Structure 1
Amino acid sequence: MRLIVSYLIGLVFGVGISISGMANPAKVLNFFDVAGTWDPSLAFVMGGALFVTFAGYKLVLRNKTPVLGTVFQLPTRKDIDGQLIGGAAIFGIGWGIAGFCPGGALPALGTGRLEVLVFVISLIAGIYAAKAIQRTITPKQA
């Protein structure tokens, strides 16, 4: 049941990303081009996502346990550190250069476009590189 629900949630997300045009890097890049062909639609998509997320959290977290799990998996850290700021900056720079964020690129894989595949492979390589760097700079626990 969990697999079916996960699939359906991913399908709804992918269809939403596609319908909104966020799988098209030109549309995303036009949002960042405030001095040229600025397209504010990304702001509306993000605003809608924030509204749905806020309402969803309020509705779902009224329950003591999730429907398909034993505990809610929520973040516990609330501090802002260099890793968070650095990661957000790298994410934003990559998004601005490529026109894709991971959420928009994964549904766009279905288009078969080479640039999407290159982005996703680069994304995965970056995740592994970040983990390797993290292992080298984090002191070993005794």
Structure 2
Amino acid sequence: MFEFPFLKNFKLILISFNFAYRTHVLALLMGALFGFLMSRAGATTYDFHAQMFLFIDFQLMEVIGTAVIVAMIGVLLLKRFHVNALSTGCEVDFVKKPYQAGLVTGAFIFGIGWAMTASCPGTIPAMLGEGKMGAVFALIGIVGGTMAYGVLQSFVTHTKQSAPPSKDNNC
């Protein structure tokens, strides 16, 4: 019999690659599918965003509403059946985040940015994949805003920690 050590090594390489990078490959495939579906739904078209914000065409609102309903049903099923994650094998956990004071202001700024650029952060990679170069400027805005938030948050945290304790004169 002829043995081909290269084929055996190739098989081992594929198995180890699958084990080491399965989360990344799964994320890449899911992201590509998500981008394709957003493109097909019209979520990467500037005109649909503008028409939605001007209350002319509600196609994009219908897509968003459908996504919210599907996500709600999905989360309900994940919680009820205690499903394990595909990539880690651990049970999917849903932790409630506490309310933060700047949440409403941040949501308002997010909405203004969405209306000004006619693209939400989820659609920008798909727009770049379609070759829409205007999405580059929105991406720069997102990265800059995220960096500004990080700097401001660390400044506020550092200021609170280094402030001298206040003295109460309630004698």
Superposition TM-score tier, normalisation by shorter sequence: 0.7 to 0.9
1:86 aligns to 2:118 (yes or no):
no
**CA offset at residue 78 of structure 1?**
4.0
Question: Which residues in structure 2 correspond to 1:101-120 (within 5 Å)?
Answer: 101-120=120-139
Tell me how many residue pairs correspond in the alignment. 138
Structure 1: which 4+ aligned runs deviate by more than 6 Å? none
Write the distance in 2 (CA, Å) between the matches of 1:46 and 1:64: 25
Distance of aligned partners of 1:8 and 1:92 in 2 relative to their CA distance in 1, 3 Å threshold: same
Other-structure match for 1:74: 94
Distance 2:28 2:93 in 1: 19
Give the alignment's TM-score, normalised by structure 1: 0.86
Instruction: Give structure 1 stretches of 5+ with no counterpart.
Output: none
In structure 2, the gaps of 5 or more residues are 1-21, 163-171
More divergent stretch after superposition (81-90 vs 63-72)? 63-72
The letter of the residue matching 1:125 is: G
Task: Report % sequence identity.
Answer: 26
Aligned counterpart, 2:17: none
Whose relative contact order is higher, 1 or 2, with alpha carbons under 8 Å and at least 6 apart? 1
Contact 1:60 1:66 in 2 (8 A): no
Contact 1:17 1:23 in 2 (8 A): yes
Deviations 1:13-32 (A, max 9, x none): 10111001111122111111
8 Å CA contact retained: 2:43, 2:60: yes
1:60 to 70, 74, 78: 78
Q: Does 1:7 align with 2:25?
A: no
Q: Once superposed, what is the RMSD of the aligned Cα atoms?
A: 2.0
